[in-house]
Structure 1
Amino acid sequence: MKLQDRYIGRTVILSTVVALLVLLILVSFLTLMDELGDVGTGQYTTADAFYYVLLVMPRRAYEVFPMAVLLGILIGLGGLANSSELIAIRATGVSQARIVFSVMKAGVAFMLVVVVVGEVIAPNTEQYAERMRAEKTSDQITLKSKYGFWARDGDSFVNIRKILPGSQLKDIYIYEYTPDQKLEIATYARFAQYKDDHWLLRGIEQSHFTEQGVKSQKLEQATWESMLNPSLLDVVVVRPTMLPVWGLYQYIGFMRDNGQEATTYEVAFWSKIVTPLMALVMVFLSVPFVFGVMRSVSVGSRIFLGSLLGLSFFLLSKVFSHMAVVYELNPLFSASLPALVFLFIGFWFVRKIH
């Protein structure tokens, strides 16, 4: 039985890896075509576009992984069925349930892989990719440190301690220098928001440095004409795709404590919980097609069916994620419903076989 488990598991894993590579090539090609349109903006080059696509590839793999698992099992087990190897295995007294158990063991391995990719690799590489892209296209020098976000704005240096969604900033320090690198004006603003192509500062404390001394003043609000692009700051804002599940959990608590809407992050949190389990759902869904209605069809037909089901799951997940935010649906319900739908389809086909 161990030999059978290894043989079936190896066949399914190799087929899934091939399917994942093919899907990644297709998705990465589309991403590259989109990125090439921005080549020439600032210092963004063709090499940067290729590097960006390479860095976001782990997240793309995380997104298409359920589809790759479904395709891999349909192709792998389907190949065994077409070559009559499954019949030979069944003839030795191995039940259909035991074969499914062998495939499920491979599904557990898939689940562990998707957890590592989605929780460890993808958040770090995507955040670096977005920051690199924003820096290149905006042509501004930036740095993120434990003291906040730093950027160069002409002859000024800007330090932002907190960046909030919606192009809003808190605790902003602006240091303006003369051409001979002498500090001329130091400004602190409690809050800033980007409106009508400019920044509006509130709660301002400003110090002017001259040879005669330091002159201080306070302002209720003022316009800040800056080259600092809000899109450059968006990559520093905590985005759902850039956080592991434990980071999402902590950030949801932070937003609730501050009275902010956290539905987007709650949907992302539950989606990250459900996605690894989808590998097992796809394993279960593929079994009736291999042993039942499609046991004798060609590989091309299985690929078409797997692509159709996988794409349906992907689109359904995206639709319900957006509906949860727009219509304030329960995040757990929105994230788990596509998985439950496909699990129900699998059970229905199993009953049809019997």
Structure 2
Amino acid sequence: MRIYERYFARQIYLTFVFILFAFSGLFFFFDLINELNSVGHGNYKFTYAVLRVALQTPSRFYEIIPVAALISSIYVFAQMAANSEYTIFRVSGLATNQALRSLLKIGIPLVIVTYLIGEVVGPYTDQLSERVRLEALGSSVSSNFESGVWVKDTLTARADGEQVTRFVNVGKLQPDATISDVRIYEFDAKFRLSNVRIAKSGKYQPPGHWLLTDVTDTQLIDVPPPTGSGAKPADALNPVYRAEQVTLPEYSLRSELTPQILSVLLVSPERMSMFNLFRYIQHLTENHQDSQRYEIALWRKLLYPFAVFVMLVLSLPFAYLHTRAGVVGVKVFGGIMLGMSFQLFNTLFSHIGTLNTWPAPLTAATPGLIYLVLGLVGLKWVDRH
């Protein structure tokens, strides 16, 4: 890096760290106040609330980094403009496109840090946070349905290669990834109900098996139609199945479902890693289920770190605004509003894209592209004036 680039980087990074921790402290305070509603229930004490909110801090970092990069760079450039430092850089031969390239170079470490937090640290600490809360409350997780979560599971499970389709109902998912109140409805290739299994609990045994306990297995067997010259025609009201029921203390079930797939109950799609999102989208696609929401979340995770570059482009025009155009505090406040508007628009556009079934890459990329164009237009305008 050149001397002026090192100077820019040092100023921006120091301000960035200060703003990142200042905003994180503010969010920590609000999250802790929100968590106080659960304190006193079960074994959930104040220390658990503090631990849970602290474990959510990496995800807060992930959300705040682009806005912190915008505010820090605006503050640095506004200070330089107020002290005529940036004017001296321009007189010394620093062109606008050269300054933009240098600024993007400074943003590369921030993008890498954002990816690491969003893919490695954040999803892990979010799951730990949920488990701390659930274990202290002595509760479990379920979906919005009263019966729990329903998952489709398709696999080739029989010796003859016939495809089996299961609809699995998990009543509760415990924090340690064990399941309870399990119902499994199994259908053959012609979508005829062939088996019903009810289990009290289950635990995953890699690779690809669930060990179910206290199992009631009901096998539905076709009743062959009567044959012979004197046979009566089959009556549609007569039973076409006979049931054979057995009770087993344990049963090993082969399945494509994994605790990672079921863990979507613990963590929202926006806070899952791209690897887990991709696996779950693959599972939904194989079972012919709607994956629009998760595809948008995947593309947002892929593109969101590059919002740091967009924010840095938006900040550069503030270096060209003279002191008489506004004091430093006003410029920083404008940067905060600009960053907040980007976050709100990004979230709103994702919901609109989900409702209108727009392509996931377009839905995820459009807000960033719009703000990038605004930044380039603003930079061109201040450069000309």
TM-score after normalising by structure 1: 0.75
Q: Which residue of 1 aligns with 2:343?
A: 314
Q: CA deviation at 1:189?
A: 8.8
Distance 1:75 1:189, change over 3 A: farther
Q: Which residue of 1 aligns with 2:247?
A: 207
One-letter amino acid of the structure 2 residue matched with residue 207 of structure 1: T
One-letter amino acid of the structure 1 residue matched with residue 370 of structure 2: V
Q: Which residue of 2 aligns with 1:216?
A: none
One-letter amino acid of the structure 1 residue matched with residue 58 of structure 2: P
SS in 2 for 1:38: coil
CA contact (8 A) 1:67 1:307 kept: yes
Q: Which residue of 1 aligns with 2:380?
A: 351
Q: CA deviation at 1:110?
A: 1.0
Distance 1:66 1:15, change over 3 A: same
Mapped partners of 1:38, 1:248: distance in 2: 30
SS in 2 for 1:44: coil
CA contact (8 A) 2:81 2:321 kept: no
CA contact (8 A) 1:267 1:331 kept: yes
The RMSD of aligned alpha carbons is: 3.1
Q: Which residue of 2 aligns with 1:165?
A: none
List alignment gaps of at least 5 residues for structure 2: 141-172, 182-198, 220-242, 250-261
Which deviations, in whole Å up to 9, do the C-alpha atoms of 1:11-32 show, x marking residues without a partner?
Answer: 0111111111121112221111
Match of 1:276 among 291, 305, 310: 305
Which deviations, in whole Å up to 9, do the C-alpha atoms of 1:158-194 show, x marking residues without a partner?
Answer: 22559xxxxxxx978344xxxxxxxxxx54699xxxx
Bigger shift: residues 125-134 or 324-333: 324-333
Which deviations, in whole Å up to 9, do the C-alpha atoms of 1:253-294 show, x marking residues without a partner?
Answer: 221011111111101111011111110011111111221377
How high is the sequence identity, in percent, across the aligned residues?
A: 29
Bigger shift: residues 242-251 or 53-62: 242-251
2:348 corresponds to 1:305: no
2:158 corresponds to 1:158: no
Q: CA deviation at 1:309?
A: 0.6
SS in 1 for 2:201: strand
Distance 1:293 1:34, change over 3 A: same
Q: Which residue of 1 aligns with 2:154?
A: none
Distance 1:280 1:208, change over 3 A: closer
One-letter amino acid of the structure 1 residue matched with residue 201 of structure 2: V
SS in 2 for 1:207: strand
One-letter amino acid of the structure 2 residue matched with residue 134 of structure 1: L
One-letter amino acid of the structure 1 residue matched with residue 270 of structure 2: T
Q: CA deviation at 1:235?
A: 6.2
User: What pairs with 1:119-134 in structure 2 (closer than 5 Å)?
Assistant: 119-134=119-134
2:283 corresponds to 1:240: no
Mapped partners of 1:277, 1:237: distance in 2: 27
CA contact (8 A) 1:38 1:44 kept: yes
Q: Which residue of 1 aligns with 2:3?
A: 3
Q: Which residue of 2 aligns with 1:327?
A: 356
One-letter amino acid of the structure 2 residue matched with residue 44 of structure 1: Y
Mapped partners of 1:251, 1:309: distance in 2: 34
SS in 2 for 1:37: coil
SS in 1 for 2:56: helix
Mapped partners of 1:347, 1:6: distance in 2: 24
SS in 2 for 1:329: coil
Q: Which residue of 1 aligns with 2:285?
A: 256
Bigger shift: residues 124-133 or 287-296: 287-296
Mapped partners of 2:98, 2:218: distance in 1: 66
Q: Which residue of 2 aligns with 1:80?
A: 80
2:216 corresponds to 1:173: no
Q: Which residue of 1 aligns with 2:35?
A: 35
Q: Which one has a bigger Cα radius of gyration?
A: 2
Mapped partners of 1:341, 1:92: distance in 2: 33
Mapped partners of 1:204, 1:85: distance in 2: 86
Which deviations, in whole Å up to 9, do the C-alpha atoms of 1:106-141 show, x marking residues without a partner?
Answer: 111111111111111101111111122122223579
Mapped partners of 1:173, 1:46: distance in 2: 36
SS in 2 for 1:173: strand
One-letter amino acid of the structure 2 residue matched with residue 328 of structure 1: T
Mapped partners of 2:25, 2:174: distance in 1: 32
Q: CA deviation at 1:92?
A: 2.5
Q: Which residue of 1 aligns with 2:190?
A: none
Q: Which residue of 1 aligns with 2:111?
A: 111
Mapped partners of 1:112, 1:91: distance in 2: 33
One-letter amino acid of the structure 1 residue matched with residue 336 of structure 2: S
How many residue pairs align between the two structures? 297
One-letter amino acid of the structure 2 residue matched with residue 159 of structure 1: G
Q: Which residue of 2 aligns with 1:90?
A: 90
Distance 1:235 1:247, change over 3 A: closer
* Structure with higher helix content: 1
Mapped partners of 2:336, 2:346: distance in 1: 15
